[in-house]
Amino acid sequence: MKRRILTNTTLIVGAFTLSPLSAFAQEATWQDSETWLPELMVTADKTQQTLSTAAVHATVYDAKTLQQDGVDSLAKLEGRVAGLSFQPFGQSAINSPVVRGLTANFNALSSSTLLMVDGVPTLTAQGFENNLVEIDRIEVLRGPQSTVYGRNAEVGVISIFSKDLTGDDKTILGMEVGSRDKERAQFSTSQTLLEDKVFVSLSGELFEQDGFIDNTTTGNKADDKERQNINAGLRWLVSDKTDVVARYRRQTYDDGAMLWGAPNGKRAIVASGTDSWNHSLGQTFSVNASHELPSGLRLNSVTAYNDYKDKVQQDTDFQPTENSYIGRDHHLRTLSQEFRLEGHLDQSDWLLGAYLEYQDHDLRTLSKTFFGLSDLQAEQTGNSYALFTNWTMPISHDFSMITGIRASRDKVKLKPSTEPEKSESWTELTPQLTLQYKINPHHMLYASYAEGTRTGGFNTVSPSVNYSTYDPEKNQSVEFGLKGDLSSKALRYTLAAYHMDVKNMQVMQMPTVGLIYLTNAAEATSDGLEMSLEYYFNENWSAEMGMAWNKTRFDHFMDGSKDYSGNRNPFAPEMNGHFSLRYESINGWSVAASVVGSGSVYLDAANKYQQDGYELIHVSASYPLTEKASLSAYVNNLQDRQFDAVGYQNGYVTVYSPPREYGVKFTLEL
């Protein structure tokens, strides 16, 4: 199976690599064709640009496409965005992204890829989720983005944008039923309170679904899911120069157990006598204001408060008696303020910004083993300050240069309940430089050098090493890209090749049994190729393809007496991607099918445990019943493939892959 997957993938990559070259040769053939591909916008460098001219490998999906493909969570972007995957953790609202071979341990309270929701940063794997209700689009930027976006944008940024409050008054209701007694109710409304002045929006979701893991002790499913979400927005056009948008988001979870089981037990069967649950809650509040100054300058301000309660208990022996379990009761609070000033100087566009942040985290980690109960409590606080600038300057008619730098200062304090307070600080300079060459109006080359950083911190769950610190992880990246479209815009493509050197790599060390902590003990190299293509056969049929190959290896990693040099970085697939085919009728109905695949990943630095690779088929369809009502259906994982992560948590746990899922949704616009 693995050999067949590799062979097929090689053929696809080879054909995909040749497609842009054939595009140059065939361009004249398409001159008289219609234009089908819409021009998409992307906020690379925090400025609006067209996707075809942005010197970065970016993917943009609008709400319609996501709905057609049945994507209702960030985890379902895996593979659909070439080079993006997530660690197989098995708990709702915790997603550790993997991009270009790099990821972060969730205990580090950081991520290697930053999540931005309407300008609000999520800096941890906890709360790295969105229900995708009433959104406008998702943008995924690959490669280091720390110069403009700051820490934890080490290898990329996922940005989610809500629908604009523009006075398009409407109300939409949605009802969905599906496999395992799935029930989902959604609503969204946007209304004008004061003509051309004040607009509001409100959306929400209620979701329930039975689990698939049998608990023989209770006679019930162990992993039932339940969540509620609500999003509210208010826009005030103070004047024709001043615009203020306030937003509030809330996500609550009332789930059962994680998707965990014993590695040596029967699949999806546990006998847990210890109650397992996830009662997490996340909420954010933000105010985004912009003002055009008389001089032509534009001032932007984003004030944000992010509050997440990570409340979890999970049985880890999966037996009727209470032998071992883990628990977390974290309260993570982040207050941030960003100011950006944008302007023009001759033919150059420039941006100058300042960022301030305060963190206040109450941390509690419980674990029971055969040796007793451990209850670790600590308070962690931190401050971050940064100044950054970015310039886009034309060198000639065809050449332009994009350059920027960020100076940042981070300070973290940890006060364990039984130890004296500890503090550490870091100062970083993060530059980037991109050269862009316009081959012709439809094709462009770029070459970039960029540095990315992931914040340092304390080992908050490791008193045996005196809650030691680990420094920021640094990534130096060189990337070459080719992108463009045919003159008819029936085909759009991007090719990117990169090389990254990772210093002070944050890795998990286990020098003795029971002693686990994060440290900067490794260096690594990451090389890769990424390819994306969109093609419209005609006004009805379209196809999309994305492939990513990555090779991330430890150049040096000594874990006690164990030498892991040359091993693959955990959770990093060497290949992933997708192929999607869509048909949209002139009468409004549509069908879509996609194949999403990923190579195997190792779950530990020793490369002993792994999750097998997989190929999944997803299908979906929608049909308009009236001008205001529609019916849609989907099947995810049509073949009911199993790709469990066997040996997670250093061999103690299997994380089960979700089974086939199907459902029907009715949508009504009032």
pLDDT (tens digit, 9 = 90+) per residue, 113-126? 999 999 999 999 99
What does the radius of gyration of the chain's CA atoms come to, in whole angstroms?
25
The amino acid that residue 175 corresponds to is M
User: Looking at domain 2-41+166-669, does it have CATH number 2.40.170.20?
Assistant: yes
Q: Tokens in use for 90? A: 């098995």
Helical (H) or strand (E) element with 648: helix 648-651
Long-range CB pairs of 622-628, under 8 A, 24+ apart, other chains included: 622/67, 622/68, 622/589, 622/590, 623/588, 623/589, 624/587, 624/588, 624/589, 628/668, 628/669, 628/670
State how beta strands 614-624 and 629-636 pair: antiparallel
pLDDT for 14: 41
Q: How far apart are CA 534 and CA 572, in angstroms?
A: 25
Q: How far apart, in whole angstroms, are the C-alpha atoms of residue 413 and residue 424? A: 7
- The model's pLDDT over 439-451, given as tens digits with 9 standing for 90+, comes to 998 999 999 999 9
Look at 79-93, 261-275, 506-520, 647-661 and tell me which has the smallest mean pLDDT. 506-520
Are the CB atoms for 558 and 530 separated by under 8 Å? no
C-beta of residue 632 within 8 angstroms of C-beta of residue 71: no
Question: 173: which DSSP letter?
Answer: E
Q: Which of 577, 656, 661 is nearest to 619 (CA)?
A: 661
Calculate the dihedral angle through the C-alpha atoms of 345, 348, 354, 359, rounding to the nearest 10 degrees. 160
> How is the chain split into domains, by residue range?
2-41+166-669
- Residue 220 contacts residue 188 (beta carbons within 8 Å): no
Question: Smallest Cα–Cα separation from 522: which of 554, 477, 553, 567?
Answer: 554
Residues 37 and 512 sit within 8 Å (Cβ to Cβ): no
Question: In what helix (H) or strand (E) does residue 18 lie, and over which residues does it extend?
Answer: helix 2-26
Phi, psi angle pair for 9, to nearest 5°: -65, -40
Per the prediction, the chain carries an average pLDDT of 91
User: Minimal CA–CA distance to 624: which of 581, 587, 662?
Assistant: 587
Quick one: which H or E segment has residue 147? Answer: helix 146-149
**230-244, 325-339, 477-491, 567-581: segment of lowest average pLDDT:** 477-491
* Alpha carbon distance 23, 18 (integer Å): 9
Residue 295 corresponds to which tokens in the numbers above?
Answer: 């001089």
To the nearest whole percent, how much of the chain has pLDDT over 70?
Answer: 94
pLDDT at residue 16 greater than cutoff 60: no
Mean per-residue pLDDT, 376-400:
96
pLDDT of residue 567: 97
pLDDT at 292 over 80: yes
The confidence score (pLDDT) of residue 561 equals 86
Whole-number pLDDT of residue 154: 97
What is the token pair recorded at 557?
């990693």
Task: State how far the Cα of 39 lies from the Cα of 51, in Å rounded to an integer.
Answer: 7
Query: What's the CA angle centered on 659, arms 655 and 661, to 5 degrees?
Result: 140
Output the pLDDT for position 13: 38
> Once rounded to an integer, what is the mean pLDDT over residues 554-582?
94
Whether 513 shows a pLDDT value over 80: the answer reads no
Query: Region 38-62: what's the mean pLDDT?
Result: 89
Closest by CA position to 143, among listed 368, 450, 436 = 450
Residue length, the chain? 670
Poorest-pLDDT segment among 40-44, 141-145, 419-423, 568-572 = 40-44
552 within 8 A of 542, measured Cβ to Cβ: no
3-class DSSP state of 100:
coil
CB 583 within 8 Å of CB 589: no
Q: Which of 18-22, 578-582, 647-651 comes out lowest in average pLDDT?
A: 18-22
**Contacts of 345 by beta carbon, 8 Å cutoff, 6+ apart:** none
What three-state secondary structure class fits 68?
helix
pLDDT higher than 80, residue 487 = no
Percentage with pLDDT > 90 across the chain: 79
Lowest mean pLDDT among 75-89, 378-392, 482-496: 482-496
Q: Is the pLDDT of residue 321 over 50?
A: yes
Cα–Cα separations (whole angstroms), residue 104 to 110, 164, 547 = 7, 33, 23
Residue 359 has pLDDT above 70, yes or no: yes
Rounded average pLDDT over 208-222 = 97
Q: Which residues contact 343 (CB under 8 A, 6 or more apart)?
A: 295, 296, 297, 298, 349, 350
pLDDT digits (tens, 9 = 90+) for 159-176: 999 988 888 899 999 999
